Amino acid sequence: MTDPFLDSLATALAGQVATALGKAGSQALVKVRELVRRRSQNDPETQAALEAAEQESAGQPQIKALAERLDQVCGEDAAFAEQLRAEGAEVHKAISAADDGVVNVNHGEVNNLIQAREIKGNITFS
């Protein structure tokens, strides 16, 4: 499982959330794309993952592959990871808040978790 932050960046890089990004998010996405492209100039695997995700026909498998590749690169290159997190923070925030400004966050492992804005009815955990 990849980091939700990297999942959101991969989704944005694939062009799946362009309408959800405001001006600041769109500007940040340009910086993220430039950063990843610079990094991929000497990294054929990252370049291939980015290009596949940017295809018009790209779907969830290509987005997931890009997120996984970014996760691997971040694990190998701490400076890149730090810069990607700094440049991508606005993109992640915009994507996370796209639904009525609600941001649900979970850090760590839980047995039962429901993240919702409004629930009508009962919830039962077994």
pLDDT (tens digit per residue) in 67-95: 999 999 999 999 999 999 998 888 887 77
Question: What is the separation of C-alpha 110 from the centre of its chain, rounded to a whole number of angstroms?
Answer: 22
What is the CB neighbour count within 10 angstroms for residue 21? 19
Residue 125 lies in a domain: no
Residue 67 lies in a domain: yes
Residue 17 lies in a domain: yes
pLDDT (tens digit per residue) in 109-120: 777 777 776 788
- The total domain count for the chain is 1
Cα separation of the two ends of the chain: 25
Residue 8 lies in a domain: yes
Residue 101 lies in a domain: no
**pTM of the predicted model, to two decimals?**
0.69
Q: Which domain holds residue 35?
A: 4-96
- pLDDT in the model for residue 75: 94
The Cα 24–Cα 92 span in angstroms is 11
Residue 105 lies in a domain: no
